[in-house]
Amino acid sequence: MVKRYLLVLAVIAISAAVFAKSVGELAGEATQLSNEGKYAQAAEKFNEAIQLAPANGSLYFNLGLVYKLMGRYDDAVRMIDRAVSLGQQTPQVYETLGFIYEAQAVAAPAAKAREFWLKAQKAWENLEVCATDEERKKLSRKHIDRIKEILQ
């Protein structure tokens, strides 16, 4: 009886392993769905991948990008902040945060807009520090100068 039980468990475990998708497969499917404009489905796939690899910062960043495309800026910021806390501190991360905060500032009531402009400025300053190419440095400087003008 015990042998039969162990055999059944082994078959179930092997079946699960055969049918389970890898993190890479899920992320690839999510990226494809996002490229097709199927953002809700892409978000689901990225969330599935995150369940399998919760310490993978690039999954959180990519989920944040999908949320940004969906206009879910608060969720996007939350995911990208998580990516940063997991080591994803790249120019693309800070550039994306800068654009998100600017979009939030433009849409926010005046009382809240200043807060978003300051967050955007910090994101662009982070980009300026970590960017290795002159184009991104110029882009960040342009946004920083514009925000300073807006906040005066």
What is the reported pTM? Answer: 0.82
Contact 65, 76 (CB under 8 A): yes
d(CA 150, CA 11): 64
Largest CA distance in the chain: 79
What does the pLDDT read at residue 4?
A: 57
d(CA 65, CA 75): 10
What does the pLDDT read at residue 36?
A: 97
| Residue 54, number of CB atoms within 10 A of its CB | 11
What does the pLDDT read at residue 21?
A: 81
User: Which candidate, 52, 82, 53, places its Cα nearest to that of 67?
Assistant: 82
What does the pLDDT read at residue 109?
A: 94
In the chain, which residues have pLDDT < 50?
A: 6-19
User: Which candidate, 48, 46, 89, places its Cα nearest to that of 64?
Assistant: 46
Q: How is residue 78 written in tokens?
A: 């939350």
What does the pLDDT read at residue 13?
A: 45
Contact 46, 63 (CB under 8 A): yes
What does the pLDDT read at residue 2?
A: 57
